[in-house]
Amino acid sequence: MKSYQEMNREELTALKAGLEKAYEEVKAKGLKLDMSRGKPSVSQLDMTMPIMDALDSRSVLKTEAGADCRNYGLMDGIPEAKALMGEMMGVPADKVIVCGNASLTIMYDTISRSVTHGVCGSTPWCRLEKVKFLCPAPGYDRHFAVTQHFGIEMITVPMTPTGPDMDMVEKYVNEDASVKGIWCVPKYSNPQGITYSDETVRRFAALKPAAEDFRIFWDNAYVIHHLYDDRQDELLEILSECEKAGNPDMVYEFASTSKVSFAGGGIAAVAASEKNLDFIRKTLTLQTIGFDKVNQLRHVKYFKDLNGLKAQMKKHADIMRPKFQAVLSTLDKELSGLGIAEWTRPNGGYFISFEAMEGCAKRIVAKCKEAGVVLTGAGATYPYGKDPKDTNIRIAPSFPTPEEMALAAELFVLCVKLVSVEKLLEA
C-alpha cells in the first residue's frame, strides 16, 4: 500500500475529495458517542449489582473483631478492607489506610497537605520559593490538573516503552531540591498502556533525592485490570523495592475499586511506610471521624479476597476486550502502511494511545466532535494541556457498546485520513 507521503499532489487532492464526501455522509448519520473518559459501561455496572445484596437490614454490620461498622471509629479503615486492598496492591495490610470512594481524593489531599503542612516535618511547600513536579507524558490529565491547581511547576518527562525516561528522572530528582514529586501510573499507564519494567522500578527505588520531602506518587489504578488471560503484564512491588534500596519513605501508592465495583461507589486506599502513614493519620483525625465502613464491609463480604477480585476483573475483561479489538482491528485495517499514525496495543487498562502526524491531533479531535464523536481533548495528556507536537490522542473504548465502538472507530480513522491529507497538502 502506498503511504500518503509517497503520493503526489494530484493523488492527494483526489483522495481528499473522496474523504470529504465520505465524511459528510457519516456526519449525516447524526452519531452521538462519547469516548472522552474511561468510564465503565452500563453492562459493567450491571454486572456488579449483586454487591448490593452482600448486606441488608438483617446483616450483622460488625468486623471480625466485633467493631460496629455503623458507628464511629477505625478511622483508617476496617482490618478486613485493609487486607483486601493490601492483597490487591501486593503490600501488607499494616501498610494500608482505606479511605473513601476515590483515590484521586487521597492524591489531592496528599498534595494539599504537603503544600500547607509539609511532608513528615519538612518545610510546607507554600513557604518555598519554587516547587516542581515531574510529569511523565503522555499521562493522566487529572494528575496534572491537581498540581497545576496548587501552582506547582510541572516538568514533562517523556515516556518510553519501559516507563518514564529514567535518565531524566534521576538527573532532576538527584540534583534539584525543588523537585518534590513525580506522578506515575506504573501498570497499564494512562493513556499508553505501558507497564514499567523491573529495571525502571528498581531505578525509582534507588533514587537519591536532593529533597528530603521528595515523594513518588504511585497511582496503581489498573493493577488488576488485564484484558487477556494469556498475556498479563507484571509489575514489581515498589514499597518493598524502596525498602531494599534504603528508601522506605519515598513512595505513596494509591489504588481503588472504582473500576472494579462501582465508579464513585468503591473504596480507595493509600499504602506507604509507617512514618508516612502516621503523618497522614494526623490530618485524617481532623478531616473525619471515620470513612464509610459499611461500604468497606460490603466490598469485603462480596469480593472476600484477591481471588474474588480477579474473578470480577475477568468478567470486566470479557466486556472490555471486544471493544479494544474493534478499535485496533479498524486502525490496523484502515491506517497500517499509510505512514500517518502509530498506536499502542495494551494488555490492560482503559485506553489506547494514538500518535497522529505532527500538528494534527487537535484538528482530528475537532473533526470527530463535529460528526458526533467526543474524544478527550487533544493536549490533555500533557502538563498544562499543551502537547508540544500536537500528536497525541487518547482513545477510551470502555463506555460505548462494541457496535457503537466500531462506528466511532470508522469515523475516527476517516478523520485521521482527512486531516493528514490536508496537512500534507499545506506543505
| Residue type (1 letter), 326 | A
Cell 466486556 identifies what position?
Answer: 319
List b or e across 184-205, with b for residues whose CB sees 16 or more CB atoms inside 10 angstroms.
bbbbbbbbbbbbbbeebbbbbb
| Residue type (1 letter), 9 | R
CA distance 170 to 64: 45
Domains along the chain?
Answer: 4-45+310-426 (3.90.1150.10), 61-304 (3.40.640.10)
C-alpha cell at 329: 482491528
pLDDT in tens, the chain (427 residues): 689 999 999 999 999 999 999 999 999 988 888 888 889 999 999 999 999 999 999 999 999 999 999 999 999 999 999 999 999 999 999 999 999 999 999 999 999 999 999 999 999 999 999 999 999 999 999 999 999 999 999 999 999 999 999 999 999 999 999 999 999 999 999 999 999 999 999 999 999 999 999 999 999 999 999 999 999 999 999 999 999 999 999 999 999 999 999 999 999 999 999 999 999 999 999 999 999 999 999 999 999 999 999 999 999 999 999 999 999 999 999 999 999 999 999 999 999 999 999 999 999 999 999 999 999 999 999 999 999 999 999 999 999 888 888 889 999 999 999 999 999 999 7
CA distance 178 to 101: 32
